Amino acid sequence: MRLRAPAKINLSFRIHALRADGFHEIETLMAPISLADELTIAYAGDTDCIELTCDDPSVPAGEDNLVIRAARLFFEHTSLKAGLRIDLQKRIPHGAGLGGGSSDAAITLIGLNELLEAGIGPGGLAQLAAEIGSDVPFFIYQSAALCCGRGEMVKPSTLRGTLQLLLLKPSFGVPTPWAYSRWKVSRELPEMNYMPQVFHGITFFNDLERPVFEKHLFLARMKMWLITQPEVGAALLSGSGSTIFAVLREGSEAELIAARAKLELDPELWTCECSTVSGR
């Protein structure tokens, strides 16, 4: 069984109070995008052995990997038993605010549910996903969604049309726990524009830009550079970053903007032309 595990972007991200469980209350509109990892899941007998291989040597392949954690949780919940061979082809960069690990875990749950004919509905899979991580339930529904609570309360939504995107990421990542820990005490940079941007009927904003930009000035510079490009309707940090995404105006050529960004900002930038997607 071969499955795609899409990345996501946060079109809006609002942080509220710190919860008693140590997480922050959030409200975020997320959308899956065409950039995706690929998982191949194969049945390997009636053992409890799970073998994970990955083309990215920096990805841990042990029990801490979210794919293996998802598989173990699925078997524990269903009392099923099966050996698995899982191959993970990584396309989504780490520490990018694109939800790669969370998506891999969610798609593993979906794949095992189909492969082993467990018959768990989306709500049941989302409950399992919430035990793995806050972003994981979002990927169960495979559509744009408004996510609340710590992220586990998912209300599927529909975007008005497809957004054409350009993703830009420098060589470094941003740890999500660190970004949250600095949210309340961080300060706005005087030259930065944190105001909401309205484009394509969507209001784009991200409360985590303040702490992330305060430490990583290059990301602030990259966002402001994108906003000044005539082809760009809006630009925003996705999640805690370090990816900045640009929403492009109709007819814009993403590869030209990417080449310009490498010339004017950083020749080592990772770039990706993609779009929002709906459904499987």
Q: Kindly list the distances between the CA atom of residue 261 and the CA atoms of 140, 199, 214, 276, in Å, as whole numbers in the listed order.
A: 34, 22, 21, 22
How many Å separate Cα 38 from the centre of its chain?
15
135 a catalytic residue: yes
Burial (CB < 10 A; 0-12, 13-18, 19+), residue 206, is: buried
Task: Provide, for the chain, the percentages of residues in helix, strand and coil under a 3-state DSSP scheme, each rounded to the nearest 5.
Answer: 30, 30, 40
Pairing of strands 84-89, 50-54: parallel
Q: Do residues 133 and 124 lie in contact, with contact meaning Cβ atoms separated by under 8 Å?
A: no
8 a catalytic residue: yes
Q: What sign does the CA torsion over 77, 78, 81, 85 have?
A: negative
Q: How far apart are the first and last CA of the chain?
A: 14
- Which of 195, 216, 99, 79 has the alpha carbon at shortest distance from 154? 99
Return phi, psi of residue 167, to 5°. -100, 135
Q: Do residues 52 and 28 lie in contact, with contact meaning Cβ atoms separated by under 8 Å?
A: no
- Active-site option among 8, 104, 169, 223: 8
- Active-site option among 37, 104, 135, 207: 135
Hey, which residues are catalytic here? 8, 135
